[in-house]
Amino acid sequence: MKSINPANNQTIQEYREHTSGEVVEIINKSHHEWLAWKESPFSLRGERMMKAASLLRKRKDELAMLMTLEMGKIIRESEAEVEKCAWGCEYYAENAERFLQDEVIPSDASRSFVAFQPLGVVLAVMPWNFPLWQVFRFAAPTLMAGNGGLLKHASNVPGCALIIEEIFREAGFPADLFRTLMIPSGMVETVIDHPAIAAVTLTGSEYAGSQVAAAAGQRIKKTLLELGGSDPFIILEDCNLEMAVQHAVNSRMINQGQSCIAAKRFIVHELVLETFTNRIQQALTGLKAGDPLDPATDIGPLARPDLVDDIDRQVQESVQMGATLITGGARYDREGCYYQPTILTNVKAGMPAYSEETFGPLVAIIPVATDEEAVRVSNDSVFGLGGSVWTNDIERGEQIARRVESGAVFVNGMTKSDPRLPFGGIKQSGYGRELGINGIREFVNIKTIWIR
């Protein structure tokens, strides 16, 4: 298992994979630790989780550099990701007990209530694009709920996977309660098959999600899936265009466009189409590509060479089908996995830029004439993860937001994850919710207790 720097294609380090026997031993040890951990008081769990938050901040520079080296995220975004992980740990340390307290419900009993109790060891299959945040937003509520956790991280961020395990151990959690499995994707089904695995959560592609869901379904084990997205960014003619352009750039270019909730389809009212196109072109051409460790860099590399190939294919095929290339549309002439910020206009249904998830710096502009058409285009997708609406008429924005088919819609704000708010999708973007009170209740036994 190799860690390769996408900025220069140099190998950082090689790691030994766990054998089948070692995997079974790790699962058994995690289950054994869970048997005691599930009885622990919230005060103890919270103390340990707050310590994890403190360690994240203490080691922020080290963690940020590791993320940037392994998957190419620009350094200031890596630093912000570490801070967000610490926030997530603190949020659940402070709120888990309240979220999981018994819920009294009057019935024909003398007393009836719902108890929220831990399930067991939860397997997390996580992606590379937010190598710390994706894991901590699973791990913080899972451990605070009294469960154990096993991490199968993406194969290109093994260093991040191991250091997360190290942080939880250093924070005082039982040594084997949260472990990293250094295994290839082909071994995931074997792990799911182990009787000690109570449930599975996956963030990744639709294909990976379907495979994990099928394996877990055969064994009657609960799953949570957060999959791809093709988020609409709806720009109405009455919006604050300057603010909309600023957030359009941020939403599309964060993590070099490698985010499931990045804005992907820019659905623009025809009255402001030309102005928006000109302004976002000016903004994108002013961005600086370079070493992701340089704080002045705006554009780093994509995480792997195949991702560069894929975004280039989507651009070229869309142009061949009639889309207009405004800027970009090619690799940078430099070493590493770099791709130019690209704008396509006249994007229509059937083009890859319209119908597929584009995981890279591609702005696909789709003109519309009415609110009704904006909603129709937004919902003309197999995905339903996030989206945003930009307008100075708040009531109009809310009505459109209610009609967009997705797990979240932000009005005059960039779609983002927040520990306080539930996060997840519908359609082929998956099911279940992370974060907020909903997230911590995904992997507990919601038990009715009736007493006379």
CA distances for 324 relative to 168, 266, 346, 357, angstroms = 50, 14, 6, 19
- What is the per-residue pLDDT for 162? 98
Same topology, domains 2-227+429-451 and 231-417? Answer is no
Which one of the listed residues 85, 239, 260, 337 is annotated catalytic?
260
Residue 332: pLDDT band with limits 50, 70, 90: very high
Angle at 3 between CA 2 and CA 6, to 5 degrees: 125
Residue (of 183, 177, 173, 176) closest to 152 by Cα position = 183
Region 420-431: mean pLDDT is 98
Q: How far apart are the C-alpha atoms of 424 and 329, rounded to whole Å?
A: 31
Q: Was domain 231-417 assigned CATH 3.40.309.10?
A: yes
Q: Was domain 2-227+429-451 assigned CATH 3.40.605.10?
A: yes
Helix (H) or strand (E) holding 366: strand 362-368
- What is the per-residue pLDDT for 407? 98
- What is the per-residue pLDDT for 211? 97
Q: What is the pLDDT of residues 14-61, one digit of tens each?
A: 999 999 999 999 999 999 999 999 999 999 999 999 999 999 999 999
Region 232-256: mean pLDDT is 97
- What is the per-residue pLDDT for 151? 98
Q: How far apart are the C-alpha atoms of 438 and 429, rounded to whole Å?
A: 17
| Arithmetic mean of pLDDT over the chain | 98
Q: What is the pLDDT of residues 186-204, one digit of tens each?
A: 999 999 999 999 999 999 9
Residue 418: pLDDT band with limits 50, 70, 90: very high
Contact at 8 Å (CB) between 22 and 30? no
239 part of the active site: no
Residue 242: pLDDT band with limits 50, 70, 90: very high
Q: How many Cβ atoms sit within 10 Å of the Cβ of residue 237?
A: 14
Residue 273: pLDDT band with limits 50, 70, 90: very high
Break the chain into its structural domains and give their ranges: 2-227+429-451, 231-417
- What is the per-residue pLDDT for 81? 98
- What is the per-residue pLDDT for 339? 98
226 part of the active site: yes
Biggest CA-to-CA distance, the chain = 75
Region 122-140: mean pLDDT is 98
Which one of the listed residues 77, 81, 226, 442 is annotated catalytic?
226
Residue 225: pLDDT band with limits 50, 70, 90: very high
- What is the per-residue pLDDT for 130? 98
Q: What is the pLDDT of residues 59-101, one digit of tens each?
A: 999 999 999 999 999 999 999 999 999 999 999 999 999 999 9
- What is the per-residue pLDDT for 114? 98
